[in-house]
Structure 1
Amino acid sequence: MAAITAGLVKELRDKTGAGMMDCKTALTETNGDIEAAIDWLRKKGLAKAAKKAGRTAAEGLVAVESSGHYAVAVEVNAETDFVARNVDFQAFVRETAKIGLNTDGTVEAIADAHFPGASVTVKERLASLIATIGENMNLRRSVKLSVEKGVIASYVHGAVADGMGRIGVLVALESAGDVEKLSVLGRQIAMHVAALSPVALDASEVPAETIAREKAILLEKHQGKPANVQDKIAESGIKTFFKEVTLLEQPFVHDGSKSVSQVLKENEGSVGAPIKIKAFVRFVLGEGIEKEETDFAAEVAAAAGQS
């Protein structure tokens, strides 16, 4: 068997843009034959995928999938919104969400999971899709929710296909009550989450740094007043802040005269049991990704050989 040297691996990487370990595997599988290794990588959909990895992927799709007492939300990114309308990309995102139901819901577990009835993993299928479509893509984030009793409701805003769009929400309701009525209520709350974007379920879950930042802003606004007055203003302001950003305290989007916690309590009678929101998830496509600003006219001029 031919020796697989570092120089040989580098040469294959330079020619294909594939990852170092993938190049080493390809050379091992082809007994060090560069051309055969290139074909091997192309068949696996790995050639050129790495070269696209540096490009910003902030478009794509958010998908939600549920089954009984489990549900998963995933975000798969691509470079342009055109890809979101590609049927192969949509099929990949949909299947990836379904596969997530049988994992712990982490990105790593989903990426390493196999497609049903196939030897290919999600990670490998994605690499193949990158090579086929020609854009950088990545499975950016995922989360799995579960309840012992109750339902996990979902809502997708800006849907481009069933269960997939630009905003995906999951709301886990724990209750021993009527599942059908819980599902209706859950969907309403999921729509509320999509619209009002709460940062936490209740005050206890608001990050300490978020509270500190808000308090600093309040104190800055009232500089010059006595310290005890500032403290009272800050304390009152933080309470108001919690009502604005915590799900249970927010005015219900379908009836602003009631908070979400009041709506839950009112529905316990018709559902037939206490209702508790165990958790919620809100994924917004591209949220937090810094998009590169490009000069399209300059790109066209450059492509045409103009200065």
Structure 2
Amino acid sequence: MAEITAAAVKDLREKTGAGMMDCKAALVENAGDIEAAVDWLRKKGLSKAAKKSGRIAAEGAVGLKVAGKRAAVVEVNSETDFVARNQQFQELVRVIAGVAEQVGEDVAAILAAAAPAGGTISDAIASAIATIGENITLRRAGVLSVDEGAVASYIHNMVADGLGKIGVVVALQSSGKSDELLTLGRQIAMHIAAANPLAVDPAGIDADTVARERAILAEKATAQGKPANVIDKIVESGLKSYYKEVCLLDQPFVVDPSKSVGQALKECEGRVGAPVKLTAFRRYALGEGIEKQSNDFAAEVAAAAGTR
């Protein structure tokens, strides 16, 4: 049996885009002959992944994995919404979420991590691409944990257990009753799904975002002819209103809009039996920020027919 080197496997993968394990198997089957291995992969349909990797993937699913006081949320994209109902794809998202919960939120580390069925997560994605026939990508991952307390979650527009269009995880640090914390945490997660805050509080908002908002407020006040000595006060007042709109703790709580999320947390401490601090959250909405390709089917047919 010919020796299969790591360099040969890497070379074959670069040529075909197939998974590492598939490339090694192809070389073993063909006694190390690269060209024969390429043909073997093509016959198996495993070399298609590279050709599909450039296509826009803005559909798919957001997946959650909660394990005690730690949780992960991932976004795995496909080209069409139909794939989100594919059981193989759904299981792939669950596997990726489970691995993310273990290794953390760095995408490169997740892709390089071992998959339960063998090979790496990157190999599992390449195999799914070849089988399903669409480009599939792991776009992002978020992982939260607490030393004591609870990490609550919520999936919106659920397509299967733990999978949906919007996924939220919330970390509540507290030594109080875990069942009360989970109930409140789920309510806050639902609020986050609906209200889409930028940060927990003003300190968490990107400095460039605050500077841009400050400049807009100052420009508006100047255009309205406000005197220079009051513009700063107008800007500061405007920023306070802005923070109420985009900071989680300042937003009106969707469960009871008469109070803010921060007030609801404070009131909950009596039921929990200890102070409660909301330390972080992650909210992933499927496809947000991805420019989706718009296809004019009639134009494509006309172009193919040579009429345009």
Q: TM-score, normalised by structure 2?
A: 0.88
Partner of 1:158: 157
Give the deviation of 1:135 after TM superposition: 0.8
Q: Deviations over 1:52-77 (max 9, x none)?
A: 11111000000111001110000000
Give the deviation of 1:217 after TM superposition: 1.4
Verify the 8 A CA contact 1:169 1:194 in the aligned structure 2: yes
Verify the 8 A CA contact 1:46 1:131 in the aligned structure 2: yes
Give the deviation of 1:179 after TM superposition: 0.6
SS of residue matched to 1:200: coil
Give the deviation of 1:299 after TM superposition: 2.1
Partner of 1:71: 71
Unpaired segments of 5 or more residues in structure 2? none
Partner of 1:250: 251
Give the deviation of 1:36 after TM superposition: 2.9
Q: 1:28 to 1:260 in 2, by over 3 A?
A: same
Matched letter for residue 165 of structure 1 = G
Give the deviation of 1:33 after TM superposition: 4.3
Matched letter for residue 144 of structure 2 = L
SS of residue matched to 1:222: helix
SS of residue matched to 2:81: coil
Q: 1:90 to 1:21 in 2, by over 3 A?
A: closer
Give the deviation of 1:42 after TM superposition: 6.2
Partner of 2:237: 236
- What is the percent sequence identity of the aligned residues? 54
Partner of 1:222: 221
Partner of 2:115: 115
SS of residue matched to 2:103: coil
Partner of 2:51: 51
Q: Deviations over 1:134-191 (max 9, x none)?
A: 1111001001111010111000111111111111000000111111111100000000
Verify the 8 A CA contact 1:23 1:37 in the aligned structure 2: no
Give the deviation of 1:304 after TM superposition: 5.5
1:119-268 correspondence to structure 2 within 5 Å? 119-223=118-222, 224-268=225-269
Q: 1:130 to 1:202 in 2, by over 3 A?
A: same
Give the deviation of 1:108 after TM superposition: 1.5
Q: 1:175 to 1:208 in 2, by over 3 A?
A: same
SS of residue matched to 2:250: coil
Please give the alpha-carbon distance, in whole angstroms, between the structure 1 residues aligned to 2:186 and 2:256: 15
Give the deviation of 1:293 after TM superposition: 2.0
Structural RMSD (CA):
2.8
Please give the alpha-carbon distance, in whole angstroms, between the structure 2 residues aligned to 1:271 and 1:23: 52
Give the deviation of 1:21 after TM superposition: 9.1
Unpaired segments of 5 or more residues in structure 1? none
SS of residue matched to 2:295: coil
Give the deviation of 1:96 after TM superposition: 1.4
Q: Deviations over 1:25-50 (max 9, x none)?
A: 7886543341233324765x741111
Verify the 8 A CA contact 2:17 2:126 in the aligned structure 1: no
Please give the alpha-carbon distance, in whole angstroms, between the structure 2 residues aligned to 1:188 and 1:288: 26
Verify the 8 A CA contact 1:100 1:110 in the aligned structure 2: yes
